Structure 1
Amino acid sequence: MCVICVRVSRYRRAAQPRKTESTDVTQVRVKAGEEVHFERNTDFNGERQAGIGSFHLTPKDGQRHSAAAAYLKPVSGRSSLSAETDARMTHVLFDGDRTMGVEYSKAGQRRSVGA
């Protein structure tokens, strides 16, 4: 799977296969708000939270499409994939400008894994 990351705003990037969607009801609500002079907000996670607009949700087939469903489930059968629970990533490891792995903490121990 190839994931393409595109800068949507100064505060957000959009990556496939997850995408934001807008419903007809949302579009009508936003238009009505603008007609009574609410200021349009295209990104509630951006610089300004006030205004009227669409929330960035990631539904698929009418249900929430989580990051796990979008990215992990399609590759869950790969022998090269392992997942750690109750772990906290602390650093991304680089060789020049290339990502080589991550460092993380689990049960008080520092660990690292290569990409």
Structure 2
Amino acid sequence: TYIARSVALGAAGYVLKGSDRADLMSAIESVARGEDVWRRDELRRVTGALATPRLNADVEVPLTQRESQVLRHLASGLTNKEIAAALNISYETVKEHVQHVLRKIGVSDRTQAAVWAVRKGLV
């Protein structure tokens, strides 16, 4: 789940997108004070997802040299078009590399890939 991934990446809480402004502000203030923000039903989902056996987090992910380059650029905030220009490859090739990277490192979007790259010291 997104919540389990958030926990694995170090999130201090989770606020549902349907939350009102007061709940959002309260959550931000709580996290700023160093507190965690979790609802009981969210914690149940997280503990269930985290209990599911997964690939060991310390296992090295075999990215190709080009995939590593794409990931570094992605984590630096470049768009696919900018990555293509920087690496002198086509936009479509960049899209393919990004999809391979996401699949190999086990994340579902560019933001999660960027966080993974930072945590692994690639950026």
Indicate whether the TM-score tops 0.5.
no
TM normalised by structure 2 equals 0.18
Higher relative contact order at CA 8 Å, sep ≥6: structure 1 or structure 2? 2
Structure with the larger helix share: 2
Structure with the larger strand share: 1
TM normalised by structure 1 equals 0.19
